Structure 1
Amino acid sequence: MATTDLVTWFPTVNSTEPSSVTEPVIIHKAQRTFVACLFCLIGGVGLTGNSLVFIAVAMSRRLQTPTNVFVVSLSLSDFLTCLGLPFQAVAILSERGWPLAGGLCAMVGGSAMMSLTCGVVTLALIATNRFTLITRSKRTYTTLFSKKRNLIYVMISWLYPFLAFVVPQLVGFGRLGYDSYFKLCVWDTSDAHAHIYEILAAITIFIATTIITTSYVTIYIFIRLHVSVMKNHVDANRGGQSVKINQVTVAANSLNNTNNNDASAMETGTRGDRPRIKVTKREIDITKNLFYIVCFFFFCIIPYGFVLALTNLGVFTWYAGVMFVANSAVNPFIYASKHPVFKEVFMCMLTFRLSAIPEPLPWVQSLFRAVPEH
């Protein structure tokens, strides 16, 4: 078997013995070369794009929001995924198993499982964040998603895959490294414990998908309902009291501080003295941007789900893997095209107009004072 047990972390001899695991039906060299090139291309684009996300957040204070803690964590998981793709290309191109140190393949496999699982969990956290922001009171949102709590959520999103997928295999319950069926650095699917991790991965994806879908469906229904309520209030008060609507608001200010407490509660989805919710067009745009990321993630992960459920799919296994990891390279482009603040900061960075960056941090200000802009 071409997988090295992690108890001997850095073996002195690479294992190249034939595996008893059934090989994919199509293993033509041209196919493997094409998939390897795709992995390298996605890796290069993803490393560049996600690096720009890190730099943008480090440059602009306006991007250092509680929600963007999750965005940075997602970009970090995408960055690590892309960092391992050139090594996966080496694994696919190799004729007789993993050609380098077995410990390196194990590290690549463990990192891939951590980063991909963390990405799924982070998308669920983002969906929950937007759900709470839009459908609950400001007090509830600031309590559940304070800066301290956000950091704890992010830590959990990284600790969970490490403790669930990596640590057990490090101590002997399974083996990380080269898998001769998929010809990738993941886990050894011929090991007796491999099915446990496949089931655990499927459960994780199912729970995260349920949370994401429920959150965004509820957000959509909430916005449609309260926009309809607003229109009714505007129509009812058109001849008398006016309602000013600047941007798209889900909950307007109280129409009459004395007599319209019930109407205000309807608009905000709250009762009594609980704080009213006001969601601006910017917040809705940001939510739509994050929803696009989720949609593309589902588009990429569905083929991979079939691979987990079925066998003997031949070269389709690799193309499903390509689609899965392509998600890690595309997210920065969604930020650049859809997220209003990220788009502005990216344009300033790429055109070297550092002085135009919104709310630049002191180190950025000193940088554009020291270096004349063209």
Structure 2
Amino acid sequence: MEVEDGAELCFPLLLNTSCRKPASPWPEAVLLNIVLSFISLLTVALNLLVIVSISHFRQLHTPTYILLLSLAVSDFLVGLLLMPGEIILYTGCWFLGDLMCSLCNCLSLIITSTSVGDMVLISVDRYVAICDPLHYTTRVTERRVKLCVCLCWFCSVFYSSLIVKDELTHPDRHDSCYGECVMVFDHIAGAVDLVLTFVLPITVIIFLYMRVFVVAVSQARAMRSHITAVTLQRSVAVTTKKSELKAARTLGVLVVVFLMCFCPLYVDALADDLINDSSSAFVYHLFYFNSCLNPIIYALFYPWFRKVIKLVVTLQILQPGSREANVL
């Protein structure tokens, strides 16, 4: 098909090598870009509130909230870096060059694998808290959790760098035209990635939360049957158990929503070798939208988050001694 004045090309001056722009209705494209841009800004703002809140208030410096902080950092990077890249890709033309394309793909793998690792750590944290509460404080310490979070990020960076090593050294080797941004896995790398970042972690998450669910249900029944016969000391223990069960339920919602948004990404990847093909746009948008949903889940289920939002927005965190405020 002939191109009039290069109007359908990403780079009109490169008539023989430029990619063609997709033929999409102009109002639809503008509306979708506006919606995606709004979601990107909202994701950045909400996760920044989570990061500031957990980092600032000492009462939130606990193992569970440190894990949520790591998850919020990865969600923040999704809104700040990955969503804008998806908006550019939706236009059908990549204008930032082959090297930036490879770096963005590498960053996408890092953030994805880190998010999965955070979910595994959150599941382990709830498993120990509910199934072995007597040893929770000795086994799950703040120092150990920080070490696990650092290892999670380091392993994600190392693993992703190995996966896209060839892409970084030869960033344009899979491009069929100039202005295209794709990442292709060979069969071995694809199989390894499938097992390490999908099959294995998802299996661990589901197994641990099934155990948590069974134990939580039995504990809830036991508390209901003995609630009228407890002493003051035991009632404190019951209150502690209730708080742990509530935290498990809230984080369970977080994990379920993550799985609902994450699983279609790998199902689509199994059906198509080009994981960022335009036909896969929906599953990518769904996975990225999960980064916006997480802070909303905190706001719905955590009263402390609604309280600290008010303190942050009104700049009361700038007052002396605000780090020691009681927010739980």
TM-score (norm 1): 0.69
Judge conservation of contact 1:296–1:327 (CA < 8 Å) in 2: yes
Q: Distance in 2 between matches of 1:44 and 1:196?
A: 37
| Secondary structure of residue in 1 paired with 2:322 | coil
Q: Does 1:89 align with 2:81?
A: no
User: 2:54–2:66: 8 Å Cα contact kept in structure 1?
Assistant: no
Bigger proportion of residues as helix: 2
Q: Is the 8 A contact 1:61 1:360 kept in 2?
A: no
Q: Is 2:291 the partner of 1:291?
A: no
Pairing 1:119–2:115 present: yes
> C-alpha displacement at 1:336, in angstroms?
1.6
Q: What is the TM-score normalised by the length of structure 2? A: 0.78
- Give me the whole-angstrom Cα distance separating, in 2, the residues matched to 1:55 and 1:288: 24
Which of 196, 199, 216 aligns to 1:206? It is 199
Distance 1:346 1:361 in 2: 14
User: Which among 291, 305, 318 is matched to residue 281 of structure 2?
Assistant: 318
RMSD of the TM alignment (CA)? 3.8
Letter in 1 for 2:57: S
Indicate the SS of the match to 1:225: helix
C-alpha distance in 1 between matches for 2:207 and 2:43? 29
Residues 281 and 232 of structure 1: is their aligned pair in 2 closer, same or farther, counting only changes over 3 Å?
A: closer
Q: Secondary structure at the match of 1:280?
A: helix
* Corresponding residue for residue 292 of structure 2: 329
1:281 has 2:242 as partner: yes
Alignment of 1:20-169 (within 5 A): 28=24, 30=26, 35-84=32-81, 85-95=83-93, 98-139=94-135, 141-169=136-164
CA distance in 2, matches of 1:334, 1:231: 27
User: What is the CA distance between 1:124 and its match in structure 2?
Assistant: 1.0
Displacement of 1:67 after TM fit? 1.1
1: CA distance, partners of 2:170 / 2:251: 35
Q: Which of 203, 212, 215 matches 1:219?
A: 212
**Is the contact made by 1:52 and 1:346 (CA closer than 8 Å) also made in structure 2?**
yes
Correspondence for 1:305: 266
- 1:343 maps onto 2:301 in alignment: no
Is the 8 Å Cα contact of residues 108 and 186 (structure 1) preserved in structure 2? no
- Matching residue of 1:268: none
| Cα drift, residue 284 of structure 1 | 2.1
Count of residues in Structure 1 that have an aligned counterpart in Structure 2: 306
Kindly indicate whether the alpha-carbon contact (under 8 Å) linking 1:175 and 1:188 is maintained by their aligned counterparts in 2. Answer: no
Alignment match, 2:11: none
Query: 1:106–1:176: 8 Å Cα contact kept in structure 2?
Result: yes
Deviation at 1:175, TM superposition (A): 5.7
- Going from structure 1 to structure 2, the CA distance change for 1:105 and 1:114 (only over 3 Å counts) comes to same
What per-residue deviation string (whole Å, max 9, x for no partner) do you get for residues 229-279 of structure 1?
Answer: 345556xxx7xxx32479988x65xxxxxxxxxxxxxxxxxxxxxxxxx84
In the alignment, residue 42 of structure 1 is paired with which amino acid? I
CA distance in 1, matches of 2:319, 2:120: 34
Q: How many angstroms does 1:77 deviate by?
A: 0.8
